[in-house]
Amino acid sequence: MKWKRKANRRPPTELRKIIHIDMDAFFASVEQRDNPELRGKPIAVGGSKMRGVVAAASYEARVFGVRSAMPSVTAKRLCPDLIFVKSSFDKYREVSDQIREIFYSYTDLVEPLSLDEAYLDVTETKRGPASATLVAQAIRQEIFEATQLTASAGVSFNKFLAKVASDINKPNGLKVIMPDDAPAFLAALPVEDFHGIGKVTAARMHKMGYRSGADLLTLSEVEMAQRFGKVGRHYYRIVRALDDRPVNPNRNRKSVGAERTYSEDVTALSEMKDKLDWLAEKVFDYLVERDNFGRTVTLKMKSPEFVIHTRSRSFNGEIRKLVDLKEIAHQLLTENIDDVPVVRLLGLSVSNLEREGGEGLQLLLPFEEE
């Protein structure tokens, strides 16, 4: 009988071996793989020339500044030769399932973050070498052989460092951060490259004179909290490579949302959009306040018969502008208005947050705005 190692037992003091795998421009790369005429050309998945929002952009398009969650009209202005491709989420899920099968062949401790990225704890594996670096190389090779797509990987002793590392040598790259190398790596790292420090907070840090990890290391935990609020304590830990979060195969999605039940049924599309704009502003204000943005937008609609419909859209990058959040919400509404032409409740939430912890938050709002 073949002995099977269990991937969830180890001494509590043993350093973990964590891999973060992130597919390279996943949606766009799948489309370029399946259509040779798109290879080497700037493409945007989703949206159109006149309306909509970009769900993903190829690396050829990113050179021009095109990014996910960008209005299509802006993307086209930045890159006049941009080719818009209709999204195929059933196909992306199928490819994602192929990739996850490879993950699970090495360990049961897999924490998917989205269709195209996941954490893996390979401290003990079902097969393959003992080296996490060699496991990461093998996984990337197997992904390419199975899908003809490339993936980047970060390898380290905790989730934070593995996540940061996976971005270092993109696309099709590998970065390893060993325990002895972590202090110098983090000291030299620009604050905007710390996972969990958003653009707004990074700009604020720059104004305060903090531009790198070395600058943040001069602050005590109390000083961090005084300058940046409760999240400052988190910054204090990550700049010191302190992150004891385990890879959680049963990870719950976290979200921030707002919903409103109306005293009278809403029948006009224009009025629904106005009410969604109000909800979007409430949600976005909360995200901005905590500098913590997300990649998935979900629209909730309840009919007068109390039937609930939800529709979601995910993007490769976080939605960081209110105008983009509103446009995505309008698009989801317009696409599904035939299913729920009259509503008594509308809700809007953002999930797949940069920093996820605790349960999903539903903002408390009065019954109906004045």
CATH number for the domain that contains residue 31: 3.40.1170.60
Q: Do 266 and 318 fall within a single domain? A: yes
In a domain, 14, yes or no: no
Residue 105 lies in a domain: no
Confidence of residue 71 (pLDDT cuts 50, 70, 90): confident
Q: Which of 111, 117, 142, 327 is catalytic?
A: 117
236 pLDDT above the threshold of 90: yes
What is the domain-level CATH number for residue 226?
A: 1.10.150.20
By CB atoms closer than 10 A (0-12, 13-18, 19+), residue 257 is buried
Given a cut of 60, is residue 278 above it in pLDDT? yes
Whether the per-residue pLDDT at 5 is higher than 50: the answer is no
Query: pLDDT per residue over 293-347, tens digit each?
Result: 999 999 999 988 878 899 999 998 899 999 999 999 999 999 999 889 999 899 9
305 is known as an active-site residue: no
Of 38, 56, 88, the last residue of a domain is 88
**Cα gap 185→177, rounded to integer Å:** 8
Q: What are phi and psi of 179, to 5 degrees?
A: -55, -45
Cα torsion 93, 94, 97, 102: sign: negative
pLDDT at 370 over 50: no
- Tell me: is residue 215 an annotated ligand-binding position: no
Q: Tell me if 116 is assigned to a ligand binding site.
A: yes
| Predicted TM-score of the model (pTM) | 0.72
The residue range of the domain holding 188 is: 182-238
For the segment 94-150, what is each residue's pLDDT rounded down to a tens digit? 999 999 999 999 999 999 988 899 999 999 999 999 999 999 999 999 999 999 999
Packing angle between helix 89-106 and helix 132-147, nearest 10 degrees?
A: 140
Q: How many domains does the chain have?
A: 3
- Cβ distance 10 to 140 under 8 Å? no
